Structure 1
Amino acid sequence: MSLLTLETLSVTRGGRNVFHDISLQLNEGEVIGLIGPNGAGKTTLMRAALGLLPHGGRSSLAELSATDRARSVAWMPQSREIAWPVSVETVVTLGRLPHLGAGQRPGPADRAAIDRAIVGMELSHLRTRPATELSGGEQTRVLIARALAQGTPLLMADEPIAGLDPAHQIATMQTFVALAGQGRSVLVSLHDLGLAVRHCTRLLLLSEGRLVADGPPAEVMTPERIAEVFGISAWYRETEHGPVYQPLEVLR
């Protein structure tokens, strides 16, 4: 089943074409990495797909009502600041709001989703702490947990592992893989090409306003394409521990 369909999606900002004519479909059970150089339009693409920016073309999510959209997709933007000194559990509980009526309190199913998200992001020992007292990396994990608690078929996250230590970067990507195993899907923008190749089932490569590649990591990350788009060389091998991809040198 399609969770997101884009048809000739285009965005122009300040008289500049950020990207144009992007068409794709996201289905169940995928971990899709959105990659590309700085300024390629990754954040803009995700925001336009959500209907948060004016755009040309069609996005199936943008056509939904706000309530239906919040039940279809959880969104984690780059901005990570938690402004109010409420507990970690309270922040994660906010993820259940799309499923509650006005004035309705979380029920057993909601509590279970909240607990799973807190445990999954290794936040149990911080459950009652004010979120504003946490480190930047811990706050990021809290916001990922909020998105997980939302329990939507699709999760869209803009650089969710930025600022996390290596163990939590890997654990977060493994969480996304587990979601795909449950039939849900994740669209995640990444700058770490090694983690993208290792954990994503599919990569979308943006460059100079267009989608230059869409497919399995091994097909997208060819030496010629990476040299052209990123201006780097890289080492890639399928090993007994899974795929290993390591950028090596700047070529230009």
Structure 2
Amino acid sequence: MINEAFAKRFFNGRNPIGLRVTEVDDQIRATYQVVGVARNSRIQRKLRGEVEPRYFVPAEQPPAAVKSPTFLLRCGTGPLACQPPVLTQVRKTIERVDPALPIESADSIGERLAPLTAQDRTTAKLATTAKLAVVFGSVALLLAAIGLYDVLSYGIARRTGEIALRIALGARPGRVVAMILRETIGLVAAGLAIGAGLAYAASRWIESQLYGVDPQDPLTQALAAGLLLSVALSAAYLPARRASRRDPMAGLRQE
């Protein structure tokens, strides 16, 4: 019996049924006739990569010598099917049949696969945590942008009288808007500097709690800072531009 990978590599698309396979090593030379093709399966602790070509012969057929046979027992499909009491009963049954037969180990398939799939389970948990972190981080950034826009636009709107007075005294509207934008950039830059310092301190703590994870991503930090700066400029520019285009007397009367 050969697997699909064996048939694909050594028979190159031909029907292998009835053909012969010869095994040659230092001690034996044996020829077997192919009687079937089994589906590919992963064995011998190799759960990743391509499936290796395999062939299977009966354990009692010479010159095959199976020194450590493995018996598979189907004991049910439920989560509690092959628990320790069942395995203990299997041991007792084998000992009654042949007390001299040594039993090296008796485990469920899940217990045998657990060490091999531990990395995959850890990776899946980290991926879920990363997705949640991205979602919560995006929501926090959105809330920060909305709050920043509201605060700045409200503050600039309250300066309508000041803007009208400057224009009435001869200041050019464009210069007034540029002045407000410079003040806004300075204010936001100070806030971003403080936030960057706190983020760096927090990232160092996160790095000490995780293994092989770099919490510092300059691109992400630059994008977040750029977004907040763009929101701040929009929040300052739009109300300042509206105020600079109004009649200065109307703005003074409103103030």
Does the alignment reach a TM-score above 0.5? no
TM range (shorter): under 0.3
Q: What is the TM-score normalised by the length of structure 2?
A: 0.21
Q: What is the TM-score normalised by the length of structure 1?
A: 0.21
Question: Higher relative contact order by CA 8 Å / sep ≥ 6: 1 or 2?
Answer: 1
